[in-house]
Amino acid sequence: MNDLQLFLPCAAGVEDTLADEVHALCGLSGDDLLVGRGGVVLRAAWRDAMRLNLHSRLAQRVLVQLSQTPYRSEDDLYEAATAVAWEAWFTARQRFKVEITAQHSPLKSLNFAALRIKDAVADRFRDRAGVRPDVDTQRPDVRLYVHLTSSDCTLYMDTSGEPLFKRGWREDKGEAPLKETLAAAMIAASGWDACVPLYDPCCGSGTIAIEAAQRACNIAPGLLRRFGFERLLPHDAAAWAALKEEAMQMRRPATVTVHGSDVSFRMVDFAQRNAERAGVADAVQFRGGDALQRMPPSAQPGVMLVNPPYGERIETAGIAGRTQGGRERAQTDEGGDFFAQLAAHWKRHYAGWTAWVLTPDLKLPSRMRLKESRRVPLWNGPIECRLFRFDMVAGSARSREAQP
């Protein structure tokens, strides 16, 4: 277990940032750490797999690659799965689940392909131990992942269990909450170093602010949850206990306060309770208030990180969804464009701040009448987005108002 090939999937656009994180956590580089499409590939030990599950803020899972073989039919998949020594990973008493993804696969039914692989796993156990393990699609002990391309089948053992964005602290949430892994990617892309204030004026249940506060306090994101590798046969309980103890010793007080606000006091209450569970109640401050009216939370300029309302996220920040010309737009109660008014508010009161805004609207800078200094491609689930950077310059609002 000291020479494993791992694949860490992540949101599209986050691959390079994830590679930097893996390098910092495990010290890997060169051929041992490669950036791929939708994730990174690395050669590492079992202890590294546990460390990455515990500390990675960006990966969606930590998968161990078990085989990669060419295929043309479902029978080829059966043969590929039969050749893997599943008994080295789990027992026949444990329940398992097969999850399958595909890209340009020639097969007609992914469900049938998954069924053939499930049969192969069960048949191998029956042939060697006389007992077939059960399948459980709801609460499996073990998760097996299969990825099909146009020519190859890759089989993985999942070491994470629940996806890594489930940190274990978010029990209260609103509509269409931002995943913690994407919030962490926004923070990483912004370059925020926990030396200046960070503020989310549309904080919802507090995801961005809490992720930032945990980073400022150097709290490992996986400390509050359990992982799939704890149920696998190679699990080393002593090494895992040592890793968790090491992570606990790395915690530190935050040197700067993180802020969040939301027009919904119900969401502010959710955010405060989530922060308490995440162990950062002392490092983050939540307040109620409309984003169009809130003044800067600190005298020192800092970084704003915002996932503003769009589409299914339209019910925040004192605005409502209106349909115009087939498009859903963010508007204030008075009927004005929320983003234009938000930009005007920032230019008037947030001189010196840097604002990062995640949106699927590529024309947002023109709607806000701002010139972006950077744009970072990111995906929010199936939604292609851009993370725009706007630099608030002192006097920009007054100079525009003085023009004829």
Q: Indicate which CATH number applies to the domain containing 333.
A: 3.40.50.150
Looking at the chain, the number of H-run helices and the number of E-run strands are: 11, 16
pLDDT of res. 274: 96
Among 65-79, 131-145, 238-252, 305-319, the range scoring the smallest mean pLDDT is: 305-319
d(CA 144, CA 291): 44
For residue 33, tell me if it sits in a domain.
yes
Residue whose token pair is 């590929």? 80
Q: Which residues contact 393 (CB under 8 A, 6 or more apart)?
A: 351
Q: Closest Cα partner for 258 from 243, 278, 239?
A: 278
**Total domains present in the chain:** 2
For residue 318, tell me if it sits in a domain.
yes
pLDDT of res. 268: 96
For residue 349, tell me if it sits in a domain.
yes
For residue 336, tell me if it sits in a domain.
yes
Establish how many alpha carbons lie within 13 A of residue 319's alpha carbon, considering only the half-sphere containing its beta carbon: 29
pTM for the model? 0.89
The model's confidence at residue 310, banded by pLDDT at 50, 70 and 90, is low
* 386 and 279, same domain (yes or no): yes
Residue 327, pLDDT > 80, answer no
For residue 173, tell me if it sits in a domain.
no
Residue 242 belongs to domain spanning: 180-247+255-402
d(CA 304, CA 260): 10
Q: Which residue type, as a one-letter code, is found at position 378?
A: L
Residue 395, pLDDT > 70, answer no
For residue 316, tell me if it sits in a domain.
yes
Task: Between 255 and 313, name the one with better pLDDT.
Answer: 255
* 134 and 215, same domain (yes or no): no
**How do residues 190-247 score in pLDDT, each as one tens digit?**
999 999 999 999 999 999 999 999 999 999 999 999 999 999 999 999 999 999 999 9
pLDDT of res. 403: 42
* 218 and 113, same domain (yes or no): no
pLDDT of res. 320: 34
For residue 37, tell me if it sits in a domain.
yes
